Structure 1
Amino acid sequence: MPDATSPNNLNCFAYIKRLKRDPAESKADAGKVVLIGGAPGMAGAIVLAGKACLHLGAGWTVLEMLDAASAHLVPEQAELMVRFAKPDAAIELAELKPDCIAIGPGLGNSLAAMDWLTAVLAYPAIPLIIDADALNLISQNETLLQRLRNRNQAFPLLTVLTPHPGEAARLLNSTGTQVQDDRIASIRALVELTRSIVILKGQHTLIASPAHTPLQCLQGNAGMATGGMGDVLTGSIAALAAQGIRHELDLWEASCLAVELHASAADALVNQGVGPIGLTPAELILGMRSVLNQNY
């Protein structure tokens, strides 16, 4: 990975112009995203990711939910295509033909979760976002880690990991304190370990890859320290990456833009008197949509 003495700041709102749509475009031009997660008791995580994906412009947003009971409920957001994640994950993905996959929000650690993660890591040549429980499964299983590295060797810069410090520590066999004490060294170690694009969340979120030195996001505020904010980021990256396939925005650029939108929208909401205390992920989704369209 290239050396850098100190990270430059994210400044990528110009990428938004590439998402401008021709009047004749269809939902196919905005991409099909499949999000996988929502084990029993954790449906909210995947629904938040799905709502972020929908509001940030994906053409189709499909939720594969591991909890059959939750999957059969009518979701609050009727535009989401909610399915029960059947055991034959590879077959399901082959039938869905996604443009982008995200896995992890509320995934849990069941055998079904392992099967879906294994199938996702074997799915070729499309952007993949790995978050939350999917990162924890990889940290516990050397075979999954090697499959991740193999995917990145075959399809460079088509996988992004989005750990918070605790998830980063588990991947590095370290502690959250050690990760936070030297975040630059930590993100470099994560990139070296996984050969992925890595977003290390937290104050001044960092992003790096095997081909890019670390960048930092100076936006954001303490109101973002609440459950579900990471799920929103995952869905946002997926939406931008799916649109980017036909609008010349690669996964690195989509990830950088999502991080900056995520943090900038939180700051905009605080400036409007929404938070920081009590700022919710659902409010942030609408704030991100607003910032995106203001810069469109």
Structure 2
Amino acid sequence: MTPPTELRSLELITRLKRAPSEHKGNAGKVLLIGGAPGMAGALILTGSAALHLGAGWTILEMLDPTAAHAMPEQAELMVRLASFNAQEQLKTTAPDVIAIGPGLGFSALARDWLTASLCYPKVPLVIDADALGLIADNPEFLDLLKQRNQVFPGMTVLTPHPGEAAHLLNTIASVIQGDRLTAVLNLVKLTDCIVALKGQHTLVASPLHPAVQCAQGNPGMAVGGMGDILTGTIAAIVAQGIHHNLNLWESSCIGVQLHASAADSLVAQQIGPIGLTPTEVILEMRSLLNKLL
């Protein structure tokens, strides 16, 4: 098996440079779905990443009624209670990008939103966290995912950590970690998706692209919420990429490398690795992205 080449995507960031006349419509409308009771923080972190990485609109479809209200500390986020008619809500919202999974849970409402997202046509879709668990446990969701990729190839990315990858492949995390390259290729084969297998030296592969490996990253990233902000980052970059000549593969690669590079930059400043927070990484990603424009 050919070893993966090193991921080198940050030079693509120059494509995101904005013309003076650009408006929020050019930066894209991102719809984020999740935040079930007790897990709202996951979706809020995802939204914060999308906002700080440049999405024109960031809408949080929150499944937790107690958390579905405006947040004064982050008033730019559009937070609303997830509708019980997911399909109609998606049609009305007309998002440019959908990301689903952070704090989603496994309720009937979560299932309805995953079904609606998988059936929503044409736009890039980022699938993470609990949405991956639902796909692993329910063959009908895997079938819908494959059907989506047949009609809209290259428009869906999965971002599993080793445990979620093991669940999808019906094995255990130690097996995934023992041969991460085989694992990511098997996930691509199973789902027909772009796959970013998170962990030390994140791997990204797709049906059309051989695996690439991120050289950046550090153990300070081993904290809850770090994966959620990657989801928001990818969603924001691909939303802008629609008008800036970046596809979902390129945006996913940028997101992975920018995320890991920001964590390394903070550690170099003696912020971490122990105690490094996702919020700090979000702000460092914004700084790095703007320096690279």
TM-score by length of 2: 0.99
SS at 2:242's partner residue?
helix
Q: Confirm or deny that 1:222 pairs with 2:222.
A: no
Give the CA RMSD over aligned residues. Answer: 0.7
Cα 1:110–1:275 shift into 2, 3 Å: same
Q: Confirm or deny that 1:130 pairs with 2:127.
A: yes
User: Corresponding residue for 2:27?
Assistant: 30
* Post-superposition offset of 1:13: 1.1
Paired residues, what number? 293
Q: Given the alignment, which residue of 99, 102, 108 partners 2:99?
A: 102
User: Corresponding residue for 2:5?
Assistant: 8
User: Corresponding residue for 2:290?
Assistant: 293
4+ residue runs over 3 A deviation: none
Q: Given the alignment, which residue of 138, 141, 145 partners 2:142?
A: 145
Unaligned stretches of 5+ residues in structure 2 = none
User: Corresponding residue for 1:264?
Assistant: 261
1:89-146 deviations in whole A, cap 9, x for unaligned? 0100000000000000000000000000000000011110000000000000000000
SS at 2:74's partner residue?
coil
User: Corresponding residue for 2:17?
Assistant: 20
Distance in 2 of aligned mates of 1:69 and 1:99: 27
* Post-superposition offset of 1:72: 2.3
Aligned AA for 2:187? L
Distance in 2 of aligned mates of 1:168 and 1:111: 23
User: Corresponding residue for 1:233?
Assistant: 230
User: Corresponding residue for 2:191?
Assistant: 194
Q: Is the 2:218–2:263 Cα contact (8 Å) retained in structure 1?
A: yes
SS at 1:275's partner residue?
coil
Distance in 2 of aligned mates of 1:75 and 1:89: 27
User: Corresponding residue for 1:281?
Assistant: 278
1:195-214 deviations in whole A, cap 9, x for unaligned? 00000000000000000010
TM-score by length of 1: 0.98
Identity of aligned residues (%): 63
Q: Given the alignment, which residue of 35, 51, 54 partners 1:54?
A: 51
User: Corresponding residue for 2:252?
Assistant: 255
Cα 1:75–1:142 shift into 2, 3 Å: farther
Aligned AA for 2:212? L
